[in-house]
Amino acid sequence: MTPGAEQRAAELDAAWGRLMVAAQGGNRVAYERLLRDCVPLIRRVARSQRVHPDTVDDVVQDVLLTVHRALQTYDPLRSFSAWLAAIAQRRSIDALRRHGRRDKREVYAPIDYENHADATATWHEEGTADMRGALVRIAVDELPAGQREAIELLAMRQLSLDEAARSTGKTTGALKVNMHRALRTLRTRFGGNVE
Amino acid sequence: MSLPLDDLIGQLGASLRPVRRLPGPLVRTGTWLGIVAGLGLVLACFAKLDAIAHRLASVPDMWMAVAGAALTAILAAVATFELSLPDRHPAWALLPIPGLALWIGATGLGCLRHWVIPDMHPATMRDTGDCFSFIVGLSIPLSIVTVMMIRRACPLRPGLTAAVGGLAVSAAAATLLTLFHPYDASAIDMLVHVVAVSLVVLANRAMGGWVLSPKPSLPRL
CATH number at residue A49: 1.10.1740.10
Out of A71, A73, A176, the one facing B7 most closely (by C-beta) is A176
Co-location of A124 and A58 in the same domain: no
Residue A93: name the closest of A156, A45, A138, A23 by CA: A45
Q: Which domain holds residue A153?
A: 106-189
Average of pLDDT values for B66-84? 95
* CA–CA dist B189, B122 (Å, integer): 8
Co-location of A62 and A16 in the same domain: yes
For residue B220, pLDDT over 60 is answered with no
**pLDDT for position B210:** 80
A69 touches chain B (CB under 8 A): yes
Q: Which domain holds residue B76?
A: 23-212
Co-location of A112 and A162 in the same domain: yes
Contacts of B10 in chain A (CB under 8 A): 32, 173
Residue B181: name the closest of B146, B133, B149, B142 by CA: B133
This model of the complex carries an ipTM of 0.76
Domain-embedded: residue B137: yes
From first to last of the 195 residues of chain A, give the pLDDT tens digit. 677 778 888 888 899 999 999 999 999 999 999 999 999 999 999 999 888 888 888 899 989 999 999 999 999 999 999 999 999 999 999 888 887 766 666 666 666 655 565 555 555 544 556 666 777 778 888 888 888 888 888 888 888 888 888 888 888 888 888 888 888 888 877 766 444
Phi, psi of A83 (to 5 degrees): -60, -50
Query: Helix B125-151 vs helix B60-83: angle between axes, to the nearest 10 degrees?
Result: 30
pLDDT, one tens digit per residue, over B27-59 is 999 999 999 999 999 998 887 878 777 777 777
Co-location of A142 and A67 in the same domain: no
A5 Cα to chain B: minimum distance (Å): 24
Out of B88, B154, B214, the one facing A169 most closely (by C-beta) is B214
Co-location of A98 and A115 in the same domain: no
Going from the C-alpha of A44 to that of each of A10, A87, B130, B183, the distances in angstroms are 18, 13, 56, 60
Tell me if A173 sits within 8 A of B10, measured CB to CB.
yes
**pLDDT for position B219:** 34
Co-location of A94 and A122 in the same domain: no
Contacts of A90 in chain B (CB under 8 A): 86-87, 156
**pLDDT for position B93:** 96
Contacts of A180 in chain B (CB under 8 A): 4
Interface touch A26/B17, C-beta < 8 Å = yes
A104 Cα to chain B: minimum distance (Å): 18
Interface of A with B in 96-135 (CB under 8 A): none
Distance of CA B44 to the CA centre of its chain: 20
Distance of CA B15 to the CA centre of its chain: 35
Domain boundary among A104, A127, A156: A104
Co-location of A155 and A80 in the same domain: no
Domain boundary among A104, A125, A158: A104
Out of A32, A91, A169, the one facing B215 most closely (by C-beta) is A169
Q: How many CB atoms lie within 10 A of CB B138?
A: 21
Contacts of B8 in chain A (CB under 8 A): 61, 64, 171, 173-174, 177
**Which residues does B147 contact at the CB level (< 8 Å), separation at least 6?**
B162, B165, B204, B207, B208, B211, B212
Domain-embedded: residue B46: yes
* CA–CA dist A79, A84 (Å, integer): 9
CA dihedral A68, A73, A75, A78 (to 10 degrees): -80
Interface probe with B: pick from A177, A178, A181, A184, most Cβ of B within 10 Å: A177
Handedness of CA A186, A192, B2, B5 (dihedral sign): negative
State how many domains chain A has. Answer: 2
For residue B168, pLDDT over 60 is answered with yes
Co-location of A86 and A113 in the same domain: no
Domain-embedded: residue A194: no
Domain-embedded: residue B192: yes
Sequential DSSP letters for A121-149 = --TTTT--HHHHHHHHHHHHHTS-HHHHH
Interface touch A173/B20, C-beta < 8 Å = no
For residue B105, pLDDT over 60 is answered with yes
Interface touch A74/B21, C-beta < 8 Å = yes
B195 touches chain A (CB under 8 A): no
- With 0-12 / 13-18 / 19 or more C-beta atoms within 10 angstroms meaning exposed / middle / buried, residue B120 is middle
Domain-embedded: residue B5: no
Interface touch A61/B8, C-beta < 8 Å = yes
**pLDDT for position A111:** 62
Domain-embedded: residue A117: yes
pLDDT category at B122 given cuts 50, 70, 90 is low
Domain-embedded: residue A195: no
For residue B118, pLDDT over 80 is answered with no
pLDDT, one tens digit per residue, over A129-143 is 666 677 777 888 888
* CA–CA dist B64, B55 (Å, integer): 12
Interface touch A74/B152, C-beta < 8 Å = no
* CA–CA dist B123, A92 (Å, integer): 51
Phi, psi of B122 (to 5 degrees): -70, 160
Instruction: Say which amino acid occupies A36.
Output: R
Interface touch A94/B156, C-beta < 8 Å = yes
Domain boundary among A85, A104, A123: A104
3-class SS shares of chain A: helix, strand, coil, % to 5: 75, 0, 25
Residue predicted with more confidence, B165 or A53: B165
For residue B124, pLDDT over 90 is answered with no
Co-location of A114 and A71 in the same domain: no
**pLDDT for position B138:** 93
Co-location of A24 and A98 in the same domain: yes
Contacts of B91 in chain A (CB under 8 A): none
A25 touches chain B (CB under 8 A): yes
Q: What is the CATH number of the domain that holds A141?
A: 1.10.10.10
Contacts of B12 in chain A (CB under 8 A): 31-32, 35, 64-65, 68, 171, 173
Tell me if B175 sits within 8 A of B135, measured CB to CB.
no
State how many domains chain B has. Answer: 1
